[in-house]
Amino acid sequence: MKVGFIGLGVMGRPMALHLQRGGHELHVWARNPHSAEGLPATVHASPAELGAACEVVFTVITSSSDVEGVALGENGLVHGMAAGKVLVDCSTIAPDVARRIAEKLGEKGIHMLDAPVSGGAQGAIDATLAIMAGGDAEVLERVRPLLDCLGKRIVHIGPNGAGQVAKACNQMIMVAAIQAAAEALHLAAASGVDCAKVREALAGGSAGSRVLEIMGQRMVDRNFAAGIEARLHHKDYGLVLEAARKSGVPVPLTAAVAQQLNALMALGMGRDDTSSLLRVLEV
Amino acid sequence: MKIAFIGLGIMGRPMALNLLKGGHQVTVWARRAESMQPLLDAGATGAASPAEAVKGNELVISMVADAPDVAEVMRGVAAGAEPGLVAVDMSTIAPAAARRIGEELAAAGVDFLDAPVSGGEVGAIAGSLSIMVGGSAAAFAKAQPAFACMGKNIVHVGGAGAGQVTKAANQIVTGMGVVAVAEAFAFASKNGVDRSKVREALLGGFAYSKILENHGQRMLDRNFQPGFKSWMHEKDLNIVMQTAHELGLCLPGSAATAQLFSAMVGSGMGEEDSIALLKLLEKLSGQE
């Protein structure tokens, strides 16, 4: 199948390569042409041109407004994709923006899935991402063979926007868990106890989690090189709090963690790993 | 002075009336025509649009709900503006939005002040509002006679956006102040102590504040009529939290406070005064 890919960053590049290795013809567009270098792909001059050449287009971009621009803006996908084609947006954006884009594309008969992913850069490289999809179930079934190239757990959550809601829930739980691990290990260190031993002991019990396993190890090793850059979690927390506010749902813990992320940004650690929340406590 | 006034709600109506009382010639416009009537009865001239309202006036003042409303009104103002016009927005909006609107107006040759107020409906009626102003000194001097009719404590804080930054800081202090007094009262009652006595004792010491005195008394009276609606305080704290997010600013107390106000709005208390927060705390602590 002819598959388009936009957003060739830490996540997007390995995902695009998996699709190509899965036997699909890869087409790309990149705002910065250097990002497409060395890829076994046809490079296009605009999203519209890419959209016209492909059956299915994937996007993995940072912000709601960037996704909106690529999909609906000048020379956007909407101007090239034909009715019946599918946009799979794997970015993490606001649920209401995802719904709005789906609606606009729907007016031209173009299908869209919001399909944000969890699993980080390692999950993208290993093709073990969790994928949470919002949109028509039939459309999901059509593109499922492609998603199978990228991830292990592909769940249809509900209609458009539902995938982004699930991703927001994912970020709430994960980053709060990173903060909990950071506070626990900080307490251990301040009490003169070996953090590595604490982490090892906890991993076998009720407090065991993937965050404690992976992020906890980074904290023990004091290896704060990203993984996923903390600034992206900071961005996601802005989306989560906005969604909670619009729904009138109190999220006191999320709000408190968001302030630690603000401090992290102020300390200039936005390009580092989110396990840097430990260093915010040490300031 | 010849002044156009746009937005005649709970705050805008008495503010415009005070301009008339101060001897200014006032042209008014409001989205809902019926809200213009009390001003027309008092001697104001009505206009059919913001663009028409500013015609022939030296000053235009807006008092509306939120940033998109201000932007829309000011687009109309820019369309009808004559050289030398000064535009003053007294609504509470984000500092970044105020700066953006100021830049757009500057392109149309209009000098802009952000001048949000504190003091509520009571202050608006009494002409005793606190007015915190951002923008050029020349525009401030020009607007000063109008400010003097509406407020008492009028401070030119700094350049564009400085007024809104000050208002946001005001909402941090008042938001957390309401939470602090409500928590102190809930704490006293749950311990079996008379909260009115607690208030009386605290008023003499370092915990004295206007919020403890005025809002505290209304909490004791269980008078939750607005005043200042909790959905508006929630909106203002959202401006604070969004600005903190954009700047990388750690505000844990404001964040917790914003969540409490958000819970009030979510549980249907948005139209009550922000001191109804007391009821939320009582509910969460089994004190109903």
The pLDDT tens digits of the residues spanning B127-158 come to: 999 999 999 999 999 999 999 999 999 999 99
Q: How far is CA B214 from CA B174, B178, B208, B275, in A?
A: 12, 11, 11, 10
Pick the closest to residue A224 from A183, A182, A165, A263 (CA basis).
A182
Q: First CA to last CA across chain A, in angstroms?
A: 52
Taking residues B248-267, report their average pLDDT: 95
Per the prediction, chain A carries an average pLDDT of: 95
Angle among Cα B230, B231, B233 to the nearest 5 degrees reads: 65
Using CA coordinates, name the residue in chain B closest to A248. Answer: B266
The pLDDT tens digits of the residues spanning A46-63 come to: 999 999 999 999 999 988
Angle of helix B67-80 versus helix B95-107 axis, rounded to 10: 10
Pick the closest to residue A50 from A116, A110, A106, A2 (CA basis).
A2
Please check whether residue A255 touches B, CB under 8 A: yes
What is the Cα–Cα distance from A256 to A175, expressed in whole angstroms? Answer: 11
Residue A192 pLDDT exceeds 80: yes
- Mapped onto helix, strand or coil, the DSSP state of residue B116 is coil
Per-residue confidence band for B227, with pLDDT thresholds at 50, 70 and 90: confident
Residue A198 pLDDT exceeds 90: yes
β-partners of residue B27 are: B4, B45
Residue A238 pLDDT exceeds 80: yes
Pick the closest to residue A116 from A59, A76, A69, A78 (CA basis).
A59
Please check whether residue B189 touches A, CB under 8 A: no
Residue A143 pLDDT exceeds 90: yes
Residue B288 pLDDT exceeds 90: no
Per-residue confidence band for B226, with pLDDT thresholds at 50, 70 and 90: confident
Angle of helix A210-221 versus helix A195-203 axis, rounded to 10: 170
User: Is B21 among the catalytic positions?
Assistant: no
Identify the pLDDT of residue B51.
Answer: 96
Residue A255 to residue B249, Cβ atoms within 8 A: no
Per-residue confidence band for A195, with pLDDT thresholds at 50, 70 and 90: very high
Residue B244 to residue A234, Cβ atoms within 8 A: no
Domains of chain B: 2-158 (3.40.50.720), 165-284 (1.10.1040.10)
Identify the pLDDT of residue A168.
Answer: 94
What is the Cα–Cα distance from A28 to B227, expressed in whole angstroms? Answer: 57
CB atoms closer than 10 angstroms to residue A81 = 29
Domains of chain A: 2-159 (3.40.50.720), 165-282 (1.10.1040.10)
In this prediction the pTM is 0.85
Query: Which residues in chain A are contacts of B242 at CB distance < 8 A?
Result: 238
- Where do the H-state alpha helices sit in A45-161? 47-53, 64-72, 95-106, 120-126, 137-148
Identify the pLDDT of residue B228.
Answer: 87
* Residue written as token pair 């704060």: A224
Query: Which residues in chain A are contacts of B238 at CB distance < 8 A?
Result: 245
Taking residues A253-275, report their average pLDDT: 96
